[in-house]
C-alpha cells in the first residue's frame, strides 16, 4: 500500500509539473512575440528576408555564431562589436554601420531568451489582405492578424483546471490517508472522480444551476456569433474569397473597365430577377462576331467562344451540331438557406454592383471580395438608408418624423427600420 501511495503521489506531481511547464512555455512564446513587436519589429522582419532598417531575420541562426552569441548581441551589440568579434563587425559593416539599440538594462535575460525562442519558432500567419476600411474586421486583431476566440481561451482554461484538479485530488487523497494511518484511523474509501463530482453537485445544487444557466447563455451567444460568420468559399484568416479559373480567360478590367461595357449588358437579368444571370455565348458573339483579336491573348481565347457557339470565323457561319456551351463557374455563392434578390437591391435599393462585388472594373480574374456573411449583410442593412428620393409620400413622412423626434431619436430610414432584419426576409 505504501508503494501504491508513493506512485500515485509521484504521478500526480509529475502531471502537475508537466501541465504548469506546458502552460508556462505557451505564455513564454507569446511574450517573445510581444517583446519582439514592441522593440524589434520597427527595424527587422521576424521570419522573412525582407530588409527594413535592419536585415530580415529568416535563417539568422544558421548564419550567426552558436552558443550565447545571439543573446549577447541582442542585449548589447556595441559591446560585442568593440570586443573585436569578427561576425559582429562583418554585419555592422554590411549594414552601413547603423547602430542597433542597446537593450541592456531595458530587457531582462528572460526577455531576450523569449525573443530568441520566438525567432526560432514557426513563422506567424500572414495578416489578411488590407481592406479599404481602417477598422479591423471582426475576428481580426488591430494588426490584421487573427484574434483568438474568447471561447477557446475559456475552454482551454477549463481543461487546464480539470487537469490540475485531478492532480491535486490524487495528492490530497494520498496525504489524507497518510494522516489517517498516522492517527490510527481507517483510510478514506477510494471513489472515482465522477462519483466525487456527483456528491459535490448534489450538495451544491443552486450553484450548479447557476453555472448551467451561465454556460447555456455563453453557448447560445457563441452559436449566434458563429452563425454571423457563416459564408461560402471565404477564408477569414487571409481575407481571400473564391477565385476560380474560368473556361475562358475573361477580363472584367478589359470589358467593364477599359471598354466601359455596362454590367447589365452581360448580366441582363440583374434588374428583373433575383439572379444576376450568367451570360450566354450568344451575348459574347454579339461583339466577337466582328472582334476576332484581343489585346492580350490575340485569337486564343476568342477562338474558345467560337468553338462554344459552333461559329466558323472564316465563313461567318454557324453549325449547331458543333455547339458546345460554356460552363462558367459561379464566383459569388450564398448558403442554400439564404434568399437574395438582385432586382430588389439593384432597382429598388439602388445598390451599386461594387458594394457587394468589389471593384470588378479593375479585376482581370473575377473574385469574391466581400465575405457575404450574415453579419456583413446585417451591418449593411443597419447603415444603408432607404433610397426614396422622388417619392412624395416617403419624403413627407420622413420630414414629419424628423420634426417630431428631433434630438430624441435617430430617424434615419435605414433598411433595418423597414424590417430589413426580420429573419423571414432572408430565411423563409
Q: Is the pLDDT of residue 411 over 80?
A: no
Within a 10 A sphere around the Cβ of 229, how many other Cβ atoms? 15
The last residue of one of the domains, among 370, 400, 417, is 370
pTM: predicted TM-score of the whole model, two decimal places: 0.50
**340 within some domain:** yes
Q: How far apart are CA 103 and CA 259, in angstroms?
A: 58
pLDDT at 187: 81
| Alpha carbon distances (Å) from 170 to 74, 175, 193 | 45, 9, 10
- Per the structure, the complete domain to which residue 259 belongs is given by 252-370
Are 306 and 315 in contact by the 8 Å Cβ rule? The answer is: no
Query: What pairs with residue 312 in β-bridges?
Result: 317
**8 within some domain:** yes
Name the domain count of the chain. Answer: 4
Are 289 and 355 found together in one domain? yes
Are 386 and 347 found together in one domain? no
Are 386 and 419 found together in one domain? yes
C-alpha cell at 267: 448580366
pLDDT at 285: 94
Express each pLDDT in 85-112 by its tens digit: 988 888 888 877 766 777 887 788 888 8
The last residue of one of the domains, among 82, 101, 120, is 120
Express each pLDDT in 180-226 by its tens digit: 888 888 887 777 777 878 888 888 899 999 999 999 998 898 888 77
Are 116 and 160 found together in one domain? no
Q: Is the pLDDT of residue 275 over 90?
A: yes
Mean pLDDT, rounded, for 309-319: 93
**67 within some domain:** yes
Are 375 and 272 in contact by the 8 Å Cβ rule? The answer is: no
Share of the chain above pLDDT 70, in %: 84
Are 156 and 214 found together in one domain? yes
Are 415 and 425 in contact by the 8 Å Cβ rule? The answer is: no
**412 within some domain:** yes
| CATH label of the domain that carries residue 71 | 1.10.760.10
- Which ranges constitute the DSSP H helices of 104-249? 109-120, 150-182, 193-203, 205-228
**143 within some domain:** no
Biggest CA pair distance of the chain: 111
**Mean of the per-residue pLDDT values for the chain?**
81
Are 364 and 405 found together in one domain? no
Are 331 and 388 found together in one domain? no
C-alpha cell at 77: 551589440
pLDDT at 52: 64
Express each pLDDT in 26-74 by its tens digit: 444 457 888 887 778 757 888 887 776 678 888 888 888 988 898 898 8
Q: How far apart are CA 295 and CA 257, in angstroms?
A: 14
DSSP-assigned letter for residue 100: P
Q: Is the pLDDT of residue 397 over 90?
A: no
Mean pLDDT, rounded, for 352-367: 91
Are 297 and 322 found together in one domain? yes
**40 within some domain:** yes
Q: How far apart are CA 368 and CA 248, in angstroms?
A: 18
Q: Which of 8, 14, 7 is nearest to 173 (CA)?
A: 8
Mean pLDDT, rounded, for 167-179: 81
Are 378 and 356 found together in one domain? no
pLDDT at 5: 43
Find which of 16-20, 104-108, 281-285 is predicted with most confidence, using mean pLDDT: 281-285
Q: Which residue has the higher pLDDT, 82 or 238?
A: 82
Are 361 and 410 found together in one domain? no
Q: In angstroms, what is the C-alpha Rg of the chain?
A: 33
Mean pLDDT, rounded, for 108-119: 87
Q: Is the pLDDT of residue 245 over 60?
A: yes
Q: Which of 124, 156, 161 is nearest to 34 (CA)?
A: 124
pLDDT at 310: 94
Q: Is the pLDDT of residue 251 over 70?
A: yes
**238 within some domain:** no
Are 77 and 179 found together in one domain? no
pLDDT band at 138 (very low <50, low <70, confident <90, very high): very low
**142 within some domain:** no
Q: Is the pLDDT of residue 280 over 70?
A: yes
Are 373 and 340 in contact by the 8 Å Cβ rule? The answer is: no
Are 284 and 346 found together in one domain? yes
The last residue of one of the domains, among 370, 388, 404, is 370
Torsion, CA 100, CA 102, CA 108, CA 109, rounded to 10: 60
Amino acid at each position: 500500500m505504501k508503494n501504491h501511495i508513493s506512485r500515485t503521489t509521484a504521478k500526480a506531481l509529475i502531471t502537475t509539473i508537466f501541465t504548469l511547464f506546458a502552460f508556462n512555455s505557451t505564455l513564454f512564446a507569446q511574450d517573445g512575440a510581444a517583446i519582439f513587436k514592441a522593440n524589434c519589429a520597427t527595424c527587422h522582419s521576424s521570419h522573412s528576408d525582407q530588409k527594413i532598417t535592419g536585415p530580415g531575420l529568416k535563417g539568422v541562426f544558421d548564419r550567426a555564431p552558436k552558443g550565447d552569441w545571439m543573446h549577447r548581441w541582442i542585449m548589447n551589440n556595441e559591446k560585442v562589436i568593440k570586443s573585436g568579434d569578427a561576425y559582429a563587425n562583418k554585419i555592422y559593416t554590411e549594414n552601413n554601420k547603423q547602430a542597433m539599440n542597446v537593450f541592456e538594462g531595458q530587457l531582462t535575460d528572460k526577455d531576450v531568451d523569449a525573443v530568441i525562442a520566438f525567432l526560432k519558432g514557426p513563422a506567424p500567419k500572414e495578416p489578411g489582405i488590407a481592406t479599404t476600411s481602417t477598422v479591423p474586421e471582426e475576428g481580426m486583431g488591430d494588426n490584421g492578424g487573427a484574434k483568438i476566440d474568447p471561447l477557446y481561451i475559456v475552454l482551454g482554461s477549463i481543461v487546464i483546471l480539470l487537469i490540475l484538479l485531478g492532480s491535486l485530488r490524487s495528492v490530497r487523497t494520498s496525504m489524507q490517508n497518510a494522516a489517517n494511518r498516522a492517527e490510527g484511523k481507517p483510510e478514506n474509501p477510494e471513489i472515482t472522480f465522477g462519483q466525487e463530482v456527483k456528491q459535490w453537485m448534489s450538495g451544491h445544487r443552486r450553484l450548479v444551476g447557476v453555472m448551467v444557466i451561465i454556460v447555456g447563455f455563453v453557448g447560445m451567444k457563441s452559436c449566434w456569433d458563429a452563425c454571423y460568420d457563416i459564408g461560402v468559399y471565404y477564408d477569414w484568416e487571409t481575407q481571400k474569397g473564391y477565385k476560380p479559373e474560368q473556361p475562358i480567360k475573361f477580363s472584367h478590367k478589359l470589358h467593364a473597365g477599359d471598354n466601359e461595357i455596362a454590367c447589365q449588358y452581360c448580366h441582363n437579368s440583374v434588374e428583373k430577377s433575383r439572379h444576376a444571370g450568367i451570360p450566354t455565348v450568344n451575348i459574347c458573339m454579339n461583339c466577337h462576331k466582328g472582334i476576332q483579336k484581343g489585346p492580350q491573348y490575340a485569337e486564343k481565347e476568342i477562338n474558345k467562344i467560337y468553338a462554344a457557339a459552333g461559329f466558323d470565323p472564316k465563313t461567318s457561319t454557324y453549325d449547331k451540331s458543333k455547339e458546345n456551351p460554356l460552363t462558367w463557374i459561379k464566383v459569388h455563392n450564398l448558403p442554400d438557406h439564404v434568399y437574395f434578390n438582385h432586382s430588389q437591391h439593384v432597382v429598388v435599393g439602388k445598390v451599386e454592383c461594387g458594394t457587394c462585388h468589389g471593384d470588378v472594373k479593375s479585376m482581370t480574374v473575377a473574385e469574391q471580395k466581400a465575405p457575404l456573411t450574415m453579419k456583413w449583410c446585417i451591418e449593411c442593412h443597419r447603415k444603408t438608408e432607404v433610397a426614396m428620393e422622388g417619392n412624395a409620400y416617403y419624403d413627407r413622412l420622413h420630414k414629419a418624423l424628423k420634426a417630431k423626434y428631433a434630438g430624441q431619436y435617430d430617424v434615419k430610414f435605414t433598411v433595418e427600420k423597414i424590417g430589413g432584419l426580420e429573419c423571414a426576409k432572408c430565411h423563409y
